[in-house]
Chains A and B, each alone.
Chain A
Amino acid sequence: MRRTKQASPLITLSINGNDHMAVVKPFTTLLQVLRDQLGLTGAKCGCNQGVCGACTVLIDGKPARACLSLAANCTGRQIVTIEGVGSVAQPSRVQQAFIDAGAVQCGFCTPGMVLSSESLLAENPKPSVAEIRTALSGNLCRCTGYKRIIEAVRLASKAEAQP
């Protein structure tokens, strides 16, 4: 019976460098834990199907769909959300480049776009336009037409790495 109470295990997740406790069922997703339990609402639920990329987070440095990642599978892994990138006083160079290039419109795709871009630049500091387009092709944007986002990543790749 679906509604019977079952003990929900407590797990520990490493998010943005800190350990967080979360109560999860086997089918609880990482996105649900982030948004509903930890108040980390920067990752968005756009399709809940792994298509749109609005829920992108980094798991061990790689972009992952938080809506398709079971929370219970994420123990022992390093999770980075948009809240763990940059700060009000010092946005990351990717974040600053998104501002400077005018790559932000409605902003719903932006956290995912920023994280996919961070991951790309960490692996490939000087990507070509073709490499940017491939790396970010899993993140849908409906406002910008993508051009400014590509320009933001190029701008960030030219910016001197911050200490």
Chain B
Amino acid sequence: MTVHTPIVGTSVPKRDAKEKVLGQARYIADMTRPGMLHGAILQSHVAHARILGYDVSEALKVPGVHAVLTGDDVGDFRMGAFVKDETAIAKEKILYLGEPVAAVAADDEETARYAARLIKVAVEELPGVFSPEEALAPGAPILHEKLESYFKVFPAVCGGNLLSQTEITEGDVAKAWAECDIIVEGEYETQPQYHLSMEPCGALSEIDVDGRITLWSANQSVFRVQANVCESLGLPMSRLRCLTPKVGAGFGNKMEPHIQPICVALTMKTGRPVKMILNRAEDMETVRARHPFKVKMKTGAKKDGTLVAREVEALLDGGAFGDDSPGVLGYSLLMARGPYRIPNARCFGRVAYTNKMRFGAFRGFGNPQVSLAGETQIDQIADKLGIDHFEIRLKNALKDGERWFGGQLLKSNGLIECIEKARAASESVKHLKSQAAKGKLRGRGIAVGGHISGLLATGAIVRLLEDGTAVLNTGAVDIGQGSDTVLTQLCAETLRLPLDKVALASPDTDGSPYNWGTTASRVTYTTGRAVVAASKDVERQIKDHAAAMLNTTPDQLELRDGGFVGIKGSNTQLPYLAVSARAHWGVGGPIVGTNTLVFDTPTIDPKHGAATGLPFGQIGVFSFCAMVCEVDIDETTGKVEPVRAWYAADVGKAINPRLVEVQMEGGFVQGMGFALTEELVWEGPRLVNPNLRDYKAPTMLDAPYDIHTQIVEHPEPDGPCGAKGVGEISLVPVPAAIANAIADAAGIHLTQLPFTPERVLNAMLAKKS
């Protein structure tokens, strides 16, 4: 027997930790190129207008200015993940206040910013719409007059300012209400949340003598950057190579385009390298944010707590461009039944264009918003029936072999274990309301959730180098969460190589296999599958060579730690070096293992559910989570302070347990900010708090230190070593758990996020009177 020391399942340090602590990691803003210019944008001062013309003469007179870009410089090419409605820069119309309407390339940033302000844009101002209700009202001014002619990647139900409409049903809700002993109803409202990745968005592009462009940018997918830039500038994809430096986090904001198309257009116009780094205000005003939701929800149950029916109607503000809105809408409706057995459900929703910055993907993708409604209603039903909050969830939780809303079979489901583990951990700390400090009320809330990991295509290439070490290439962007480390662990484990003998290629649209992106909690699961399969392809080739060299058959061979292939039950073995040398110099050619795949399990099974207007047919496998949160409420100010949180998440298999735990901890604090303090505030057309002073994200003083995490492992049959994702599930239940904790502490049921001191205090006062 040879000894195998596992690499998967161990908390090895992140590959890039050392360069980051030393300040040596290079992000987009740290890059320069010879002859590089700096770009800056001019933002619109109106929210909705027709562009009549530009006067760029003053800007061009400024010494050091090389070019000005306006909508006249780009053709009528449109990009978009679901509905292709967005030009590289405002063209013909302005659709929101702050939208980039012109840009300047100059010798330095200060000159570019100064010159941009000298550009005059003549406009015919139009009335705007600033809420989905206004947008969908009869006679409302229309943002996209040519919506009908835009290309759509799915059969969208749209028209006027209606961007997308989706409905998913199972059973017969109308009939089911009669079977219910108890029904709860509510209306919920959530606010726009800013991603606040610490690194603002930026890009740097250059062009060679043949007109081929190279683009580095802060992004979550070099392939989505390539697609968006080429679509919006009418370029063949073969003309654009996209790369990535280190990325200072992305929570959805860097998946679809930000400044890249404008940066490339300036490079094409000047023939020079151009770098554009958004300042914090521009990043807040022009990139994207979490969708504001209005949710009407009704849930019915029998006396014993058995859930019978749920009906949901959601209305989303999509902002000025489609972006990921149809996806967020459809996905949130798929999640709105929760991880429960509710035989009758109808979830319907619409998303509308408004004259605001686009709303798009943000960790959770619509799930936290609907979970707030769903999980608070579960508690209300339990309270009215006198059932324990854990028990009602255990009773109705989906089990292995049951189906998600719409009909997809669940092959791995650790939800019940998550609930039991979170319960046991929280109950090990006695819940004494009297423990709260004087003037404070203490409460605990539970919430659970399910979330996918998956979606779309990915690939991996593993090359065995001449000396028997390996290099892995996936095209997946590590946005800080540690996927480079996790994917390397999977490759090293499969090939029995030490971690430092597996190199990782940086994502490159020229050299990497397609990877849709670092989003949808998908890299560990989806790309991990490709990495394991490509590594096994290498293993097969190693064994074929070794069998010939050792005069045996491949099935008699095994891979051994340190990079050896040997005959089972014997000491005879070869180093990979010998095998790779044979392949390189003698027989067969260098060993390259490859795999590509696309997630292809249907979401809707017509035997169980039906959907219209759903923008994706195959979403992914399911991770689960349960959490308990303890809060204190200041009776005088209404301020809510999270004291502790207990998490348990089913991730199939933790490839790197510590990285899984950090996802839970980070997800809690970002979710806590969403629940309590964070809000992008629009007053009419204007975003009034585009800075970090007036936008309140949790600091170290706000976040509880006591975040207790537990990993539950119900292996996903086709996951890499059984793994599935954790990135988003960690945030999904947080607002609901905090809402339920507030209800426990003060007996008030809040329905509008964020739970500001003012809202909490008003609700407490209203309850008293």
Contact = CB atoms under 8 A, between A and B. Distances in A.
A105 B249 contact: yes
A144 interface: yes
B198 A48 contact: no
Interface of A: 2-3, 35, 41-49, 51-52, 54, 81-83, 85-88, 91, 95-96, 98-100, 102, 104-111, 114, 129, 132-134, 136-150
A106 B23 contact: no
Contact of B63 (A3, A104, A139): A3
Closest 6 CB pairs of A and B: A42-B23, A106-B480, A82-B23, A107-B20, A108-B248, A145-B665
Nearest to B668: A145
B23 A51 contact: no
B665 A134 contact: no
22 contacts: A41-B26, A43-B23, A51-B692, A51-B693, A54-B198, A83-B22, A87-B22, A88-B18, A91-B18, A96-B21, A102-B14, A106-B246, A107-B248, A108-B198, A108-B249, A109-B198, A142-B195, A142-B670, A142-B697, A143-B198, A144-B662, A146-B700
Query: Which among B22, B23, B24, B481 has the highest number of chain A CB atoms within 10 Å?
Result: B23
Interface in B22-60: 22-27, 29-30
User: DSSP class of A's interface residues: helix, strand, loop or mixed?
Assistant: loop
Interface in B172-226: 195-200
A145 B667 contact: yes
B13 A100 contact: yes
A42 B24 contact: yes
B21 A110 contact: yes
Contact of A133 (B18, B198, B480, B705): B705
A104 B14 contact: yes
Interface in B742-769: none
Contacts of A145: 662, 664-670, 703, 707
B16 interface: yes
Contacts of B705: 129, 133, 146-147, 150
B249 A47 contact: no
Contact of B249 (A35, A102, A114, A142): A142
Contact of A102 (B248, B658, B707): B658
B21 A44 contact: no
B24 A140 contact: no
Nearest to A92: B21
Contact of A142 (B13, B19, B197, B668): B197
Residue in B16, B277, B667, B705 with the greatest tally of chain A CB atoms within 10 Å: B705
Contacts of A139: 700
Contacts of A142: 195-198, 249, 251, 666, 670, 697
Contacts of A52: 198, 692
B701 A137 contact: yes
A34 B670 CA distance: 31
A153 to B, nearest CB: 10
Contacts of B195: 142
A106 B199 contact: yes
B418 interface: no
Nearest to B14: A104
A40 to B, nearest CB: 8
B24 A148 contact: no
B302 interface: no
Interface in B470-501: 479-482
B699 interface: yes
Nearest to B250: A106
B252 to A, nearest CB: 12
Interface residues of B, number: 59
Contacts of B17: 98-99, 104, 107
A21 B666 CA distance: 41
A81 B280 contact: no
B662 A44 contact: no
B659 interface: yes
B480 A143 contact: yes
B553 interface: no
A149 to B, nearest CB: 7
B21 A91 contact: yes
Contacts, number: 181
Nearest to B27: A108
A79 B377 CA distance: 56
B238 interface: no
Between B19, B480, B661, the greatest number of chain A beta carbons within 10 A of the residue's beta carbon is seen for B480
Interface in B659-682: 659, 661-662, 664-670
A144 B666 CA distance: 4
B153 interface: no
B482 A99 contact: no
A102 B197 contact: no
A98 B63 CA distance: 46
Contacts of A85: 22-23
Contacts of A86: 21-22
B21 A141 contact: no
Given A52-B198, A91-B18, A140 B29 contact: no
Contacts of B707: 145, 147
A27 to B, nearest CB: 10
Given A91-B21, A110-B21, A99 B13 contact: yes
B720 to A, nearest CB: 21
Interface string B696-740: 010111010101000000000000000000000000000000000
Interface centre among B18, B248, B703, B707 (most CB of A within 10 A): B248
B199 A46 contact: yes
Which of A45, A46, A138 gathers most chain B CB within 10 Å? A46
B247 interface: yes
Contacts of A43: 23
Contacts of B200: 45-46
Contacts of B479: 106
Contact of B697 (A41, A81, A137, A140): A140
Contact of B13 (A102, A138, A149): A102
B25 A107 contact: yes
A133 B706 CA distance: 13
A47 B20 contact: no
Contacts of B601: none
B662 A140 contact: no
B490 to A, nearest CB: 19
B62 interface: yes
B618 interface: no
Nearest to B672: A145
A91 B24 CA distance: 12
A144 B665 contact: yes
Please indicate which of the listed interface residues A35, A105, A129 has the most CB atoms of chain B within 10 Å of its own CB. Answer: A105
Given A44-B27, A145-B662, 16 more contacts: A41-B26, A44-B198, A46-B200, A47-B692, A49-B280, A51-B691, A99-B18, A105-B14, A106-B247, A106-B481, A111-B23, A132-B700, A142-B198, A142-B249, A144-B665, A145-B664
Q: Which of A41, A83, A100, A106 has the most CB of B within 10 A?
A: A106
Interface centre among B27, B196, B662, B700 (most CB of A within 10 A): B700
A140 B701 contact: no
A41 B277 CA distance: 14
A45 B22 contact: no
Contacts of B2: none
A12 to B, nearest CB: 23
Nearest to A104: B17
A134 to B, nearest CB: 7
B199 to A, nearest CB: 5
A83 B26 CA distance: 13
B5 interface: no
Interface in B237-292: 246-249, 251, 277, 279-280
B396 interface: no
Interface string B333-360: 0000000000000000000000000000
